[in-house]
Amino acid sequence: MPFSISSLRQSKLDHRPYAGSFHPATELLSHPLYKKACEVIDRSTVRFTAEHIRICEIPAPPFNERERGDYLESRFRDLGLADVHRDEVGNVTGIRPGKDRSAGLTVFSAHLDTVFPVGTDVRVRQVGSRLCAPGIGDDSAGLATLIGLIEILAEAGIDLQTPVAFVATVGEEGEGNLRGVRHLFNGGALTSRISAFVSFDGTGVEWITHQALGSRRYRIRLDGPGGHSWGDFGVVNPVHAIGRLVARLADYPAPLKPRTSFNVGRIEGGESVNVIPIMASVDIDLRSEDESELTRLEAFLLESLELATDAENRLRASSGRRLSSDVRLIGSRPSGEIPPDHPLVRSALEVARSLGIRPWLNRNSTDSNIPLSLGIPALTIGAGGVSGDPHRLSEWYDPRGRELGYRRALLLLLVTAGLAEVPD
Ligand SMILES: [Zn+2]
């Protein structure tokens, strides 16, 4: 079903104010409960990796995250989260309550879906220290971190000052178009209670995404009458027109600053070498750090389409047939950001530095685009460990050093949600 532009734009919503940081990270490092939690982490890395493999081996193709969602839901229940719930779009949520019941929720999240289609072999192979499987880093690693955090809090007996919601979202990748997180912030059961959002997406511990990269994704399809390549020569050819469109777009002078990009990611059409195609279609991804630059690029694409079809129609006018076009906006991700000195960003930086990490800030396209576009504090961070080849069948993850990812995640959770009691 095509999306309409208006259905993809979201209005600003009321939300709970962000309470800010409860404790300095450096103070928590010497807290007995944090130390106890670190002991849990240190003795659990093998278990965390086993959980990670288990999650990765449950297929979660686009628009088909149910089976993996079932597993997360059962784990959330087994680990004692409150209000475990599968919402209307398939997000799995569960809450670790806080002492202050009226306080806003901090969401810790990871996405269920992968980019890999039904039937992809998702079994994990061990090659040296690496785990190899499609989706092993993006985002099985994030989901494993969610489960790990819930286990750590339970086993170390940590009571929180304010509630935390753990959420496994659907539809982060590609044409999923952030549908899970959109629902979470627009009409979901938790919508009005959320005060901050943290997503684990991918690996590493240094990068912190506090700026959302806006994008538009189009599927453009041209149809013509088709025919025999010799006998019907002279009728409009949709592949020729698409070729003109792609050639013009390929020459677009995308600025380096604000960084702007475009990609013709998929092209389809035609039946055989001696058949004039009846159809051709392209999927095109446009991105920019800057919303007005994105709008300019979008206008250029649509103008290119018009010029390309006009040229083909004009050239083949004697046939009396014209191309018809169908333009669908299949994705629209809003941009937005919180400043580097926002309390949530400062907390994340301080947490990293207190653990000896050298953090850096960046802009990316993730589940955080939605809260950031709504003015709700949000970050996306990595789950620890090292990975490569995301979105490819050769994707790999090296779990060595992953405990630092769990420590970082835990410390950020404790700073933002607060320990129920901190001794003097
Ligand atoms: Zn991801």
> Over the chain (424 residues), what is each successive 10-residue block's mean pLDDT?
37 68 92 96 96 98 97 98 97 96 94 97 96 97 98 97 97 92 95 96 97 95 97 97 98 95 97 97 94 93 98 95 96 91 96 98 95 95 96 96 97 96 55
CB 177 within 8 A of CB 332: yes
How far does the centroid of ligand 1 lie from the alpha carbon of residue 34, in Å? 29
User: What's residue 422's pLDDT?
Assistant: 53
Query: What are the structure tokens assigned to 386, written together?
Result: 């090292």
Which one-letter amino acid corresponds to residue 414?
L
How far does the centroid of ligand 1 lie from the alpha carbon of residue 23, in Å? 30
- What are the chain's domains? 5-212+335-417 (3.40.630.10), 214-333 (3.30.70.360)
Closest by CA position to 379, among listed 196, 206, 202: 196
How far does the centroid of ligand 1 lie from the alpha carbon of residue 286, in Å? 18
The alpha carbon of residue 359 and the mean position of all alpha carbons in its chain are separated, in whole angstroms, by 20
Q: Tokens 């010799």 appear where? A: 230
Strand ordering across the sheet containing 279-288: 260-269, 279-288, 214-223, 324-333
How far does the centroid of ligand 1 lie from the alpha carbon of residue 370, in Å? 15
How far does the centroid of ligand 1 lie from the alpha carbon of residue 173, in Å? 7
Q: Tokens 């014209």 appear where? A: 322
Question: Interior CA angle at 178 toward 115 and 414, to 5°?
Answer: 100
How far does the centroid of ligand 1 lie from the alpha carbon of residue 327, in Å? 27
How far apart CA 116 and CA 103 sit, in angstroms, is 39
How far apart CA 158 and CA 148 sit, in angstroms, is 14
> Per this entry, what is the length of the chain?
424
Residues 268/176/247/258 CA torsion (nearest 10 deg): -170
User: What's residue 13's pLDDT?
Assistant: 53
How far apart CA 377 and CA 370 sit, in angstroms, is 10
How far does the centroid of ligand 1 lie from the alpha carbon of residue 110, in Å? 8
User: What's residue 17's pLDDT?
Assistant: 81
How far does the centroid of ligand 1 lie from the alpha carbon of residue 397, in Å? 14
Query: What are the structure tokens assigned to 212, written together?
Result: 């959302």
User: What's residue 87's pLDDT?
Assistant: 96
User: What's residue 287's pLDDT?
Assistant: 94
Q: Where are the beta strands (DSSP E) in 170-278?
A: 194-200, 207-212, 214-223, 227-228, 260-269, 275-276
CB 383 within 8 A of CB 203: yes
